[in-house]
Amino acid sequence: MNNASFSFRLSDHLKKEAFSVIEQYGFTPSQVFNLFLTEIANTKSIPLDLSYLKPNAVTLRAMADVEKGDVEIIESSFDMNNVMKEILKKSNQE
């Protein structure tokens, strides 16, 4: 099997944090990257929990309201500021 070289950029902080975890498992970064790519190739999916990207119940309700047109249109940042103040006032009263 031929080997290919691949490089990518990442922040120093991310590299330090991630490589530390990888080493705690007894792997090298190269081994982990190969495992990751092998899993992607074998499963035809990315082996990560991306559930945090799914909208929660509150967001789903808001999305439904937008689709129904049941939303308040705010014309300016000044108006938005006033709406936010009203929301804050109501939440402090509860």
Do 59 and 85 fall within a single domain?
yes
| Helix (H) or strand (E) run with residue 62 in it | helix 57-68
Do 60 and 37 fall within a single domain?
no
- Is residue 33 a part of any domain in this protein? yes
pLDDT higher than 90, residue 94: no
Give the DSSP letter string of 19-46. HHHHHHTT--HHHHHHHHHHHHHHHSS-
User: How many structural domains compose the chain?
Assistant: 2
Q: What pLDDT score was predicted for residue 52?
A: 82
- Is residue 3 a part of any domain in this protein? no
pLDDT higher than 80, residue 76: yes
pLDDT category at 90 given cuts 50, 70, 90 is confident
Per-residue pLDDT tens digits for 6-53:
899 999 999 999 999 999 999 999 999 999 999 999 999 999 988 888
pTM exceeding 0.75: no
Domain that holds residue 65: 55-89
